[in-house]
Amino acid sequence: MIALIAAAAWGALVVEDARGLRALFESAGRYSPSFSPAAIGETLRERVGVNLLAEQREWGLARKGARTLVFGAGAVGLIAPVSDARRARRAMTAWRLEATNRAAAIAGRRLLLASGRKAKALLAEMSRGKAAYALLRGPASLWMQLMPPLQSATFALEASAAGLIARGLVVPASQAALLAGAAPASCEGAPPGCLRAGIGPAGREVLAFALRQAGRPPPAENTSRFTARIDSFDLEQLSDQPSLPLAVLWSISYDAPAGQGPALAGQLDLASVAAALAELTPLDAIRGSGAAGVYAAYLLYGSLLRHAGPLTISGKPAGDAAEVELRLPISSR
């Protein structure tokens, strides 16, 4: 699933009320400053001109109306409603001239900004105004166009100082069910991570894709349930980038008896991940780029990992699609 999302063709974050996201980043920023509203806002100002967490008056934006952050391969953009076109045009021109990889326009009462090596192409796409994300409503929503065997995912985001809850629909590319029946019973022994599901034909395609990415054989054609678990971590395996998957020791089993619960269930204990990464030292980092990257990530995000989670997922069939809920709590202590 992570590989599919990372390879999303493009997507959009639609924000009508940024207060929940700001509270979320304030909580996360206490443990990892790079997630603070100030750090996120600075990145937004650089990439799309407007800090959506604390909008600058010079952009002349309307007080109400959705702000849409659009991301694609090679570019990121913003669509925002304008109340003062003259002020918006002045700010837009100044921002565009600061770098060569930026594109901008005002179309009707909409401000369009984009940056990146494919900024002009993304600006043209945004100007059409007929994308699926244009229909999203609510404080914050996320839409992604995924690669086969999935088609798209749409989530309503409930963000607060206590964490993030995402509820939505994942749609397969084929006309076949993602989920079917109940998942197997919970993993025994409370491992750091466990994912289990009852799957239909499209679900088997997704599982086969994920296993191929991990260098594992696909499931049998009649597989109806699976359980994948992280058993432990072996950080001695870390060296260069290709070594990263070797550091996670995991197993998968098929067609265990169905449990009593949802068709999809899983959790990842982020504190256990942090505890494993805490064993790394600067000497480990010299083994290669993969080890150095993991060590750097722990220095930046280890405190947040210790205070967040567990990350949980659950889901049930919705026709061929799947209704999915993800939860990521953040502790205030």
147 and 221 belong to one structural domain = no
114: in domain? yes
Q: What is the C-alpha separation between 222 and 204, in angstroms, rounded?
A: 9
Share of the chain above pLDDT 70, in %: 97
Same domain, 181 and 128: no
In the structure, what pLDDT confidence band is assigned to residue 56 with cuts at 50, 70 and 90? very high
Question: If pLDDT is split at 50, 70 and 90, which confidence band does 275 have?
Answer: very high
The pLDDT assigned to 8 comes to 54
Question: Of 107, 122, 154, which closes a domain?
Answer: 154
**How far apart are alpha carbons 31 and 25 in whole angstroms?**
10
Residue 144 and residue 198 in one domain: no
Residues 100 and 189 in one domain: no
Is 333 among the domain residues? Answer: no
The runs of H, that is alpha helices, within the chain are 2-6, 19-31, 37-48, 85-96, 119-128, 201-213, 270-277, 282-285, 289-307
Among 122, 154, 186, give the residue marking a domain's end. 154
- In the chain, the percentage of residues whose pLDDT exceeds 90 is 86
- Residue 1's alpha-carbon distances to 51, 127, 251, 293, in angstroms, are 30, 30, 16, 22
Mean pLDDT of 206-219: 93
Tell me, yes or no, whether 163 lies in a domain: no
pLDDT digits (tens, 9 = 90+) for 298-319: 999 999 999 999 999 999 999 9
Judge whether 162 lies within some domain: no
Q: What is the pTM of this model?
A: 0.92
How much is the pLDDT for 130?
67
Residue 236 lies in a domain: yes
Q: What's the pLDDT score for residue 122?
A: 93
The answer on 261 and 179 residing in a single domain is yes
Domain count of the chain? 2
Q: Looking at the structure, do residues 110 and 20 belong to the same domain, yes or no?
A: yes
Q: Does some domain include residue 221?
A: yes
Query: In 3-state terms, what secondary structure has residue 320?
Result: coil
Q: Both 190 and 316 in a single domain? A: yes
Say whether both 204 and 63 belong to one domain. no
169 within a domain of the structure (yes/no): no
69-93: pLDDT as tens digits: 999 889 999 999 999 999 999 999 9
Side chain identity at residue 17, one-letter code: D
The answer as to whether 42 is a domain residue is yes
Arithmetic mean of pLDDT, 185-201: 95
243 and 276 share one domain: yes
Cα torsion 295, 2, 49, 162: sign: negative
Say whether both 260 and 296 belong to one domain: yes
User: Prior bond to 192 cis, omega within 30?
Assistant: no
| Domain identity same for 132 and 6 | yes
pLDDT reported for residue 5: 47
Q: CA 201 to CA 63: how far, in whole Å? A: 46
Amino acid in position 183 = A
The string of DSSP letters for 26-45 reads HHHHHH-GGGSHHHHHHHHH
* Tens-place pLDDT, residues 97-152: 999 999 999 998 999 999 999 999 999 989 887 677 777 888 999 999 998 999 99
**CA dihedral in degrees (256, 258, 263, 268; nearest 10)?**
-50
Confidence at residue 3, expressed as pLDDT on a 0 to 100 scale: 47
Domain termination site, one of 154, 187, 217:
154
User: Does the pLDDT at position 281 exceed 50?
Assistant: yes
Dump pLDDT digits (tens) for 227-257. 999 999 999 999 998 888 899 999 999 999 9
Range of 92's domain?
A: 2-154
pLDDT tens digits, one per residue of 5-49: 444 558 999 999 999 999 999 999 999 999 999 999 999 999 999
Q: What is the pLDDT of residue 9?
A: 58
Distances in Å between the Cα of 61 and the Cα atoms of 28, 38, 86, 111, 284 are 28, 20, 11, 8, 49
The reply to whether 132 and 182 lie within a common domain is no
